[in-house]
Amino acid sequence: MSLNNSSNVFLDPVPSNTTRFQVNVINESHDNSAAADANTDPPHYEETSFGNEAHNRLRISFRPGNQERYDNFLQNGESAKADASFHAYDSHTNTYYLQTFGHNTVDAVPKIEYYRNTGSISGPKVNRPSLLEIHEQLAKNVAVAPGSADRVANGEGMSGDEETENKEADDKDGAVKFGWVKGVLVRCMLNIWGVMLFIRLSWIVGEAGIGLGVLIILLSTMVTSITGLSTSAIATNGFVRGGGAYYLISRSLGPEFGGSIGLIFAFANAVAVAMYVVGFAETVVDLLKESDSMMVDPTNDIRIIGSITVVILLGISVAGMEWEAKAQVLLLVILLIAIANFFIGTVIPSNNEKRSRGFFNYQASIFAENFGPSFTKNEGFFSVFAIFFPAATGILAGANISGDLEDPQDAIPRGTMLAIFITTVAYIGVAICVGACVVRDATGNVNDTIISGMNCNGSAACGLGYDFSRCQHERCEYGLMNNFQVMSMVSGFGPLITAGIFSATLSSALASLVSAPKVFQALCKDNIYTALQFFAKGYGKNNEPLRGYFLTFVIAMAFILIAELNTIAPIISNFFLASYALINFSCFHASYAKSPGWRPAYGIYNMWVSLFGAVLCCAVMFVINWQAAIITYAIEFFLYIYVTYKKPDVNWGSSTQALSYVSALDNALELTTVEDHVKNFRPQCIVLTGAPMTRPALLDITHAFTKNSGLCICCEVFVGPRKLCVKEMNSGMAKKQAWLIKNKIKAFYAAVAADCFRDGVRSLLQASGLGRMKPNTLVIGYKKNWRKAPLAEIENYVGIIHDAFDFEIGVVIVRISQGFDISQVLQVQDELEKLEQERLALEATIKDNECEEEGRGLRGLFKKAGKLNITKPAPKKDSSINTIQSMHVGEFNQKLVEASTQFKKKQGKGTIDVWWLFDDGGLTLLIPYILTIRKKWKDCKLRIYVGGKINRIEEEKITMASLLSKFRIKFAEIHIIGDINIKPNKESWKVFEEMIEPYRLHESCKDLTTAEKLKRETPWKITDAALEAVKEKSYRQVRLNELLQEHSRAANLIVLSLPVARKGSISDLMYMAWLEILTKNLPPVLLVRGNHKNVLTFYS
């Protein structure tokens, strides 16, 4: 039925002042017309609300009468939808108009499932209806299951493969995921608060003073804060998976940077485990020394304690992330208690022992004395900074386990930046407090008090009653400058500081022990280093990298047993700094590339600040240890070159790709502002190869003179019904471009669908290219079968040559003896490969069944074989293979295969004969010159043949030699051909006449009426008058073939001026006959005709 605006169709008229989102309840039943007429006032609709609650997404207020009808819809609408009588595309039922928008059409509404990657762990990947399914007419015989329309319309259906992937994802639903506090904040704080806080910060304040000490802390924080902002920006620009710094860098800058930094970052974390464990072991050994409980000697005790410790940490890690997280929380609690213990100790009144060691509680005089620097010998601002900076690292501890975070996009920015803030405040607080309470030098002798009448040096200690003046002449053991255990002395309870040291070292070691395998596993999963694929496997619901854990354990144990980490420690710090530098550069690079895909949710960043952070990280690397910085860059550069050489088959949409596009676009636009100059001319070719793999020789010879210098576009024209052609064309575009890349051919692939071949080529000639990068030369293969081809094909072939000349595009026609098309060969090879695969599959099936039947006896074996019918298909397969093999022997043209690869091979010593008969601007000479500078053709010499007068051969040879010298084109020989215009011999002319005989009209032998009738019926035939008009030109083509046979029969390649057929004067068949006789029985020939514009110049 038709719909209109009458009252029996709409329950309520649409108000004129309606809001944006409305729901109109529609009923086609005529029985409700009375009710409809009764309610004449328009209903009031509220605007749609997009709140979080589902029931608030659409709020509608009704007048009495309408509410009941809508409630009835809510109760019955969905059940009607599931009724088998409802067709998915039915628009004539009551249910259709009462469905939610998007359920009554194949066109899908926006859903997140459409944008997920296949195999996404966050949910299923769903394919939206293709444009073809929406655009084309709906098939009438579509079978639709009940309710399937809604699933299709809203993308709820999925393929079998996707269901399998989603099932695997569901199996991982039990995996432990951490929030931003436990997953990021706790880890970062533990990693940043290291041993440096307890045993080195006081010394840094003593050397640099409170002022410069705080500046050192703030400078370190600036580096980490900028890196944290960059990390936050990258982490919120899309879904983040496991791999931490490696994942962020690789997905931003590509596999080359990510692969190089990922390996050294994972190694740095593994060695960091040894560093932190050795630090813990050294503290334990110091305690053993105090209690005189040494096991062997200090070095071996460190090895023993370190080995036991790393085994225990490995057990915690292997037990699972949940246990590791609980251990981290416990260690953080201990660490916080230790820090609080220090601050409490600063306000507890000092006793005589602590005063003799330099602790006087908060004193303004001490603060003033310690505010300025007091660097000792060999120390300075940057050396002290280099010692402190590693204490500020560890900001990536949370990002390194990004795969185990519940919401990495929220957790990484929030946890990382808050951890940097809290730890910075703690560092500054400790530095100021310790600087205001403890003097730089103290003797530790309680008797060093000031006696009345004694002269004092005027230090803060003097004012507080202690004389430490002898520390100026001899080394004292206490004070900020001398005692690394100042925090233990100041604290309220000393053993808690020792517990804090244990907590700091063990937590950092545990974090590194978890980070290294996670990063390494992500690196191995991407298969950038194929030899490391073994470590990609994960175990359990959390996909734990157990193999990576044991590899990290082995590396850590090796360095613990060495027990000499002073040399490797600066390199490890530089490895971390290199990661920070690349993260900052990644953020800058992504912003600078201006890719539309760069849309970080975390907006508190600036690309220039990120660049400054990258430079700052590099500078800090050299400040800490310039030798280690050079080693780091050397290792990273080597790995970068390795990954670049291997070219991993990945595409992550990196900013490097985006910037390459921007650069290419900018360069292309810049080229349009510059006029073409003859010195910069290069052949830019459209090559009519069809599918590139079907005519490789044609592509190879073109690629030989366009590679690294000019544009090359492989073109294919699909002729036939538009719908089928477009479908076939779109399905093969990526495959054919991939074939070019795989075979290292620097060319593009382009295709068009057209009603006829000539129209398609005409479109390509006009529309291909971009700006100045437009084709100027058409390369086609010679039509070898022209005498058997339909007339329409010949007209199209010659027509595209005319079209090229009309568009002022040069033409190159390539002829080889065997032809170019090897599509039949490829078809046979595909069939053989399929049969071989089937044979291997059959053998595998038989083998598997033999294994299953082993031990069941002969009867069971024969019974199973009978069921499988194994004995029957075998002869069939053999016969099929024999059939193919016979075809392989009979029809497989080995010469054609060899001819298709002839231009891939290195050409030996020989010649390229250039018959420059007509001046076309120089293209006929430029192409062979370019060939001679290619590696495969460099052993070939140029021989130049030109026409001339027989009585001026020497003069014209000198003239041509002078011209070539001015063009700076090297040549071996110059030949002046003076007898081009003489008649060919009778045998050669007879061959030409026999060639054109089937196409001649012979109207002179017939009466006038018959001749006129034949002309009308067969206008394509060659008339006697037309033949006579071009007889001299025909003589020339035949004579040229004789000369070519005489002079260039042994050449590697012949480059020959292409004769031009004047439109309307030379028939297509006559022109093809000229080309045939001209190039008959010769080596490979290039018929070249430029657009008669200069492509060579002798001016500088």
What DSSP letter does each residue of 371-413 carry, written as one string?
HS----TT--HHHHHHHHGGGG--TTTTGGGGGGBS-HHHHHH
Q: Specify the pLDDT at position 566.
A: 61
Residues in contact with 830: Cβ distance below 8 Å, sequence separation at least 6, in sequence order: none
Distances (CA, A) of 371 to 205, 430, 483: 9, 14, 19
Q: How far apart are CA 587 and CA 242, in angstroms?
A: 19
Residue (of 777, 745, 1050, 1032) closest to 924 by Cα position: 777
| Proportion of the chain above pLDDT 90, given as a percent | 24
Of 680, 692, 866, nearest in space to 781 by CA: 692
Q: Around Cβ 564, how many Cβ atoms within 10 Å?
A: 11
Contact indicator for 189, 419 with CB cutoff of 8 Å: yes
Name which of 512, 563, 478, 479 is nearest 194 in CA terms: 512
Per-residue pLDDT, averaged over 464-489, amounts to 82
Q: Which two tokens stand for residue 1059?
A: 């004769």
- Specify the DSSP element, H or E, that contains 913: strand 910-915
Angle separating helix axes 364-371 and 201-235, nearest 10 degrees = 70
Please say whether the beta carbons of 518 and 247 come within 8 A.
no
Query: What DSSP line would sit under 976-1017, residue for residue?
Result: EE--TTSPPPHHHHHHHHHHHGGGB--GGGS-HHHHHHHHHH
Confidence bin at 121 (pLDDT 50/70/90):
low
Indicate the pLDDT class of residue 565, thresholds 50, 70 and 90: low
Mean pLDDT of 135-148: 47
Average pLDDT over residues 71-86: 41
Note the pTM of the prediction, 2 decimals: 0.67
Q: What are phi and psi of 1088, to 5 degrees?
A: -120, 135
Amino acid found at 168: E
- The arithmetic mean of pLDDT across residues 7-27, rounded, is 40
- State the CB neighbour count (10 A cutoff) for residue 1084: 19
User: Contact at 8 Å (CB) between 235 and 402?
Assistant: yes
**Cβ burial, residue 691 (10 Å; 0-12/13-18/19+):** middle
**Tokens of residue 617, six digits:** 């990280």
Structure tokens that stand for 804 in this block:
């090229």
Q: Which DSSP letter does residue 181 get? A: I
Helix and strand totals (H; E) in the chain: 41, 10
> 1092, 829 in Cβ contact below 8 A?
no
Measured distance between the N- and C-terminal CA atoms of the chain, rounded to whole angstroms: 81
Percent helix, strand and coil across the chain, each to the nearest 5? 60, 5, 35
Q: Read off the pLDDT of each residue in 49-73 and give the average, rounded to a whole number.
A: 42
CA 1005 – CA 694 distance, rounded (Å): 46
Strand, helix or coil for residue 959: helix
| Tens digits of residue pLDDT in 274-326 | 888 887 887 888 788 877 777 878 778 888 888 898 898 888 888 767 777 78
Helical packing angle, 298-318 and 494-525, nearest 10°: 60
- Which pLDDT value is given to residue 446? 81
408, 413, 419, 422 alpha-carbon torsion, rounded to 10°: -150
22 vs 48: CA distance, rounded Å: 7
- Which residues have CB under 8 Å from 413's CB, separation 6+? 228, 231, 232, 235, 236, 602
Residue 111, class by beta-carbon neighbours within 10 Å (0-12 exposed, 13-18 middle, 19+ buried)?
middle
Indicate whether 1069 pLDDT > 60. yes
Q: Give pLDDT, residue 765.
A: 93
Handedness of CA 1026, 1027, 1029, 1035 (dihedral sign): positive
Task: Give residue 22's pLDDT.
Answer: 41
Lowest mean pLDDT among 46-50, 175-179, 262-266, 842-846: 46-50
Q: What is the DSSP letter of 107?
A: S
**Beta-ladder partners of 478:** 442
- Would you state the structure tokens that stand for residue 63, as one six-digit string? 């007048």
pLDDT value at residue 851: 62
Cβ atoms < 10 Å from Cβ of 162: 17
Residue 14, pLDDT > 50, answer no
List, for residues 853-871, the tens digit of each pLDDT value. Answer: 555 554 444 444 444 443 4
Q: Which two tokens stand for residue 323?
A: 């246990």
Mean pLDDT of 631-638: 88
User: Of 401, 639, 421, 695, which is closest to residue 519 (Cα–Cα)?
Assistant: 401
Residue 881, pLDDT score: 38
Any idea which residue has 């479908």 for tokens? 727
SS3 category, 264: helix
Question: What local confidence, expressed as pLDDT, does residue 799 receive?
Answer: 94
Q: How far apart are CA 93 and CA 78, in angstroms?
A: 13
For residue 417, give Cα distances in angstroms to 610, 821, 1083: 15, 64, 73
- Average of pLDDT values for 333-351? 89
Of 653-657, 796-800, 988-992, 1093-1097, minimum mean pLDDT range: 653-657
> Which one-letter DSSP state was computed for residue 174?
G
Contacts 24+ apart (CB under 8 A), 1048-1051: 1048/911, 1048/913, 1048/915, 1048/943, 1048/945, 1048/1082, 1048/1083, 1049/1082, 1049/1083, 1050/910, 1050/911, 1050/1083, 1051/910, 1051/911, 1051/912, 1051/913, 1051/943, 1051/1083
User: How many Å apart are CA 386 and CA 231, to the nearest integer?
Assistant: 23
Whether residue 79 is predicted with pLDDT greater than 70 in this model: the reply is no
Please provide the DSSP assignment of 438-453 as one string.
B-S-B---TT-BPPTT
Across 245-309, where does the E strand assignment appear? none
pLDDT of res. 862:
41
Of residues 239, 174, 595, the one with CA closest to residue 412: 239
- With CA atoms as reference, report the closest residue to 1056 among 1087, 1034, 1080, 1019: 1087
- DSSP strand pairing (810-815 vs 777-781): parallel
pLDDT digits (tens, 9 = 90+) for 186-207: 888 888 887 778 878 888 898 8
Q: Let me know: does 218 contact 616? Beta carbons within 8 Å.
A: no
Q: Choose the weakest-confidence range: 149-163, 500-514, 641-655.
A: 149-163
Cβ atoms 312, 281 nearer than 8 A: no
